[in-house]
Amino acid sequence: MPSRKHKGSLLAENGLSDQEIAARKAFLEFSAADAKRLAALAPLARKYANEVIEELYTHFLSFNDSREFFHDQATLERVKQLQKRYFLRLTSGRYDRKYIANRLLVGAVHERIGLVVKLYLGAYRRYLDSVARRLWDASGGSRQQAFEAFRSLLKIIFLDMGLAIDTYVSQRERTIRVQNQELAEQYRRAQEANRIKSEFLANMSHELRTPLNAVIGFSELLHDGKAGPIAVKQKEYLAQTLTSAHHLLGLIDDVLDLAKVESGMLRFNPEPVDLAELVREAQQAVGVSVASKHIDLRTAIAARLPAPFLDRARLKQVLFNYLSNAVKFTAEGGRVALRLRADGEQLVVEVEDTGIGIRAEDIAGLFAKFQQLEGGASKKYQGTGLGLAITRQVVEAQGGTVGVRSTPGRGSTFYARLPLVSRSQQGNGLSVPPAASDKKTLRTRISGPLQTQLGTFTGSKQIGSGEIPKREKT
């Protein structure tokens, strides 16, 4: 049973002094005469109490909302007894502070168990209907007396409802405040854990790169014969070692970039960007994969496109991530197109492919960290799922947006929209630099069979002959 202290605290929390209780009764015109009439109804209320409760719960159990509160028959019977006692107190004739505290407790319990207001409003309405019919039948010839008794019953029920609803609302507000405080603390802890994680990843990535660069450097010396002649088979093994080492270095660089973004350590250095040169470098970075899969890669830079004032290395990273992703998921002999154009004060980058496409339900998580189209150890396409996540964060950090349009089986178009002038430079009186080329739209076509040109075009050597592609860090 609730303690007196708890009931007293409910009175205090709801501001119900003796004066406020009297004021509430006065608003309802509840008088001593009403209390006397209600006390006179007590024998009738006790006589029909069980019938009224059965009618009430037959009605309740016809609704899913109320039925879910009664897990078993024992619970149902216990609640019926409590409800019976509650209604019998309506005709007690004593409506003092103890009575008020009991009604406040009802609202608090309803909030705690999740019994919404609409359900116990329905209970009051049903109770009034049942009692009114029996009061009318038992009144005999004294209709006026029955009517006055019913008016008094209405007053006490409205008083009860007001008290219960007030307490329900105040308790709900208190619960929400506590929950908000807990959520705020959880968020603070999560942010702190995320900051520590990002710092750890950034530091660990630096520590991993140092010995890995040594492995790559010494392996290249051996592979190039600078430490002495080696056999053809040894050169092939070293080529595989270096390929794997460069791949691992790329993964570490991705993790380092992500850690920098999340920890706020990533810095942007905006400058005028020569888009034609940048596109050539991005093409070279994916040239080996393009050639090996005989992919038709085309690029187009819109005429009179002004040179954007952005971080060149990060823009190149965006182009590379989109291109490498398109090449990865495009079958041999497919097509990939890179397009750059202006839309108002924004640079629009689009990479379209004829790859496998993406289902609509998969698009929402596409730019999330460590997310790929396929999961599991046997997935067909290698990668950490960081490329698109880094792209999104790098673009958004500069005031841009990313997105994708896709049709499964027909291909995808990934896009990024960036301000032509870096957000950090806006408002500083800087104008957009002149166009890199105003003469005509630049179009370059690279097809798979041009493997004889790859040594010059990609800036790398042939893997098949035991030569190693160089990965440039953006």
Q: Is 348 within a domain? A: yes
The half-sphere exposure of 69 on its side-chain side, counting CA atoms within 13 A, is: 21
What pLDDT does 120 receive? Answer: 73
Domain boundary (125, 156, 187) is at 187
Residue whose token pair is 């009618």: 55
Per the structure, the count of domains in the chain is: 2
Residues 183 and 282 both lie in one domain: no
Question: How many Å apart are CA 117 and CA 411, to the nearest integer?
Answer: 53
Please report whether residue 282 resides in a domain.
yes
CB atoms within 10 A of CB 278: 22
Residue 470 lies in a domain: no
Please name the helix (run of DSSP H) or strand (run of DSSP E) that holds residue 80, with its range, or none. helix 73-88
pLDDT value, residue 68: 79
pLDDT at position 438 is 37
**Are 14 and 104 contained in the same domain?**
yes
Same domain, 306 and 441: yes
> What 8-state DSSP symbol labels residue 402?
E
| Strand (E) or helix (H) holding 347 | strand 346-353
Q: What is the pLDDT of residue 30?
A: 93
Note down the domain range covering 94.
4-187
| CATH assignment of the domain containing 445 | 3.30.565.10
CA proximity to 297, closest of 448, 441, 452, 411:
448
With respect to residue 162, please indicate whether it lies within any of the assigned structural domains: yes
Summarised one tens digit per residue, pLDDT across range 236-253 is 888 888 878 877 887 777
Q: Is residue 146 part of a domain?
A: yes
User: Looking at residue 250, what is its pLDDT?
Assistant: 73
Answer positive or negative: Cα dihedral of 450, 453, 457, 459: positive
Q: How many CB atoms lie within 10 A of CB 143?
A: 10
Site of tokens 């909030």: 111
Same domain? For 337 and 429 the reply is yes
DSSP 172: H
Asked if residue 308 belongs to a domain, the reply is: yes
- 405 and 279 within one domain: yes
Query: Can you tell me the distance from the alpha carbon of 397 to that of 423, in angstroms, rounded to the nearest whole number?
Result: 9
Model-level pTM?
A: 0.47
CA–CA dist 312, 271 (Å, integer) = 7
* DSSP summary character for residue 471: P
Task: Work out the number of other CB atoms within 10 angstroms of the CB of residue 366.
Answer: 21
Amino acid in position 327 = V
Residues in the chain: 474
Parallel, antiparallel or unpaired: strands 335-343 and 296-301: parallel
Q: Which two tokens stand for residue 336?
A: 């990939």
Residue 71's CATH number: 1.10.490.10
- Of 187, 222, 252, the domain-final residue: 187
50 and 169 co-located in one domain: yes
Q: Is residue 259 part of a domain?
A: no
The average confidence (pLDDT) of the chain is 79
The amino acid occupying position 434 is P
- Burial class from Cβ neighbours inside 10 Å (0-12, 13-18, 19+) for residue 137 reads exposed
Last residue of a domain, one of 138, 172, 187: 187
Judge contact between 332 and 294, C-beta under 8 A. yes
Q: Residues 333-358: pLDDT tens digits?
A: 999 999 999 999 999 999 999 999 88
Amino acid at 425: Q
Residue 429 included in any domain: yes
- Regions in the chain scoring below 70 on pLDDT: 1-8, 140-141, 258-265, 368-385, 422-474
What span, in angstroms and rounded, lies between the C-alpha atoms of 150 and 147? 5
